[in-house]
């Protein structure tokens, strides 16, 4: 089974959804490949912090500052319920393009653990993911070579791959994240409960096994086919 997961590091439900997915996968009898796909929620986001999460939230959703704070706290509680040290209120929102590039860079070198570390950097440590020193430190913690990472971040390698993910999302009609595409033909949207994810993946596994079982050469009362 292969799951393509469109996500962005500035998305709280992406972190929650990815965490729930991992819990669900631990309950499956089969190995599953998960591929992180890039989706910028705000492609034009600045390369510096220009407002607080609370003020940005209030403006975006037309809420009072108090209501925005309450909504943010509710989301943080959802994250903490998943065992995450979730600090959404104090996140420092910036452009995430380089973080998404770095994820591609780490993936081809076998370091997909960088996904969790980047989410943790944003939602727990409240670091700026536009900061190249922050990105370099996280990459090195994952076992990547410091000099190689520094050279990578100074260039534009994997920019085209990030754009390709986003173009693929557009082709699929994906407008919000997290968004899961399973085996190229099943879709699941949003940070669904772990139980729902587990049941859905088990059902897909069963269906896939059935398809494989009946997809061979067989004989019955009408002949062989």
- The residue ranges of every structural domain in the chain are 2-43+98-115+145-214
* Annotation: CATH topology of 2-43+98-115+145-214: Glutaredoxin (3.40.30)
| Coil vs helix vs strand at 35 | strand
Question: Distance between alpha carbon 45 and the CA centroid of its chain, in Å?
Answer: 18
Say what the pLDDT of residue 209 is.
62
Residue 210, pLDDT > 90, answer: no
With residue 49 as reference, give the H or E element that holds it: none
220 vs 113 pLDDT, higher one: 113
Residue 212, pLDDT > 60, answer: no
Residue 108, pLDDT > 70, answer: yes
- The residues that bridge with 38 in the sheet, in sequence order, are 7
Say what the pLDDT of residue 219 is.
54
pTM: 0.89
Say what the pLDDT of residue 46 is.
85
- Cα–Cα distances (Å) from 33 to 150, 154, 182, in that order, read 28, 30, 10
pLDDT in tens, 145-167: 999 999 999 999 999 999 999 99
């Amino acid at each position: 089974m292969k799951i393509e997961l469109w996500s962005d590091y500035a998305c709280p439900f992406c972190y929650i959804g990815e965490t729930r997915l991992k819990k669900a996968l631990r309950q499956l009898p089969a190995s599953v490949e998960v591929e992180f796909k890039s989706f910028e929620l705000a492609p034009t986001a600045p390369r510096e912090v220009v407002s607080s999460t609370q003020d940005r939230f209030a403006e975006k959703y037309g809420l009072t500052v108090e209501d925005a704070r309450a909504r943010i706290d509710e989301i943080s509680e959802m994250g903490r319920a998943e065992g995450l040290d979730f600090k959404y209120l104090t996140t420092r929102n910036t452009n995430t393009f380089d973080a998404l590039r770095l994820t591609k860079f780490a993936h081809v070198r076998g370091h997909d653990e960088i996904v969790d570390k980047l989410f943790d950097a944003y939602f727990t440590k409240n670091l700026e993911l536009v900061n190249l020193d922050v990105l370099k430190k996280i990459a090195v913690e994952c076992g990547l070579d410091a000099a190689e990472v520094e050279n990578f971040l100074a260039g534009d390698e994997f920019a085209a791959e990030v754009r390709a993910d986003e173009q693929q999302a557009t082709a699929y009609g994906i407008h919000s994240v997290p968004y899961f595409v399973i085996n190229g033909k099943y879709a699941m949207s949003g940070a669904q409960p772990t139980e729902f994810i587990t049941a859905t993946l088990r059902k897909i596994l069963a269906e896939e096994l059935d398809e494989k079982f009946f997809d061979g050469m067989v004989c019955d009362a009408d002949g062989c086919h």
